[in-house]
Amino acid sequence: MTQRLHLVFGGELVDPTKNVFKDVDDIHIVGIFPDYASAFDAWKAEAQRTVDNAHMRYYIAHLHRLRDEEAAASSTEELGS
């Protein structure tokens, strides 16, 4: 069975219309989740908790898309070359 990990993270943005964090050192890592449904639940909880701050944003990153075990070299490995 293929494992599909998802990372939930967020923080305060410089401008709510852009995806640039105000302070990268202050990014909140919520966690890594084994499926989209549990990642979505965590994302939703954090988004609702910070709803009063228009500059706060949380995201779901699909970690399983960063590495394709079937390919000889994934796109992330090629970046380090």
Q: Which domain holds residue 13?
A: 6-79
User: Are 28 and 46 contacting, i.e. CB atoms less than 8 angstroms apart?
Assistant: yes
Going by DSSP bridges, is the β-strand pair 56-62/6-12 parallel, antiparallel, or unpaired?
antiparallel
- What is the residue whose two structure tokens read 């994934």? 74
For 40-65, what is each residue's pLDDT tens digit?
Answer: 999 999 999 999 999 999 999 998 78
* Residue tagged 């939703």 (tokens): 44
Could you tell me the CATH number of the domain that includes residue 30? 3.30.70.2400
Residue in this structure with the two tokens 């090629």, named with its chain if needed: 78
User: Is residue 63 assigned to a domain?
Assistant: yes
Question: Within a domain: residue 1?
Answer: no
- Of 47, 50, 73, nearest in space to 59 by CA: 47
What confidence tens digit (pLDDT) does each residue in 5-50 have?
Answer: 999 999 999 999 999 999 999 999 999 999 999 999 999 999 999 9
Answer yes or no: is 61 within a domain.
yes
CB 9 within 8 A of CB 27: yes
- Is residue 45 domain-resident? yes
- 48 falls within a domain: yes
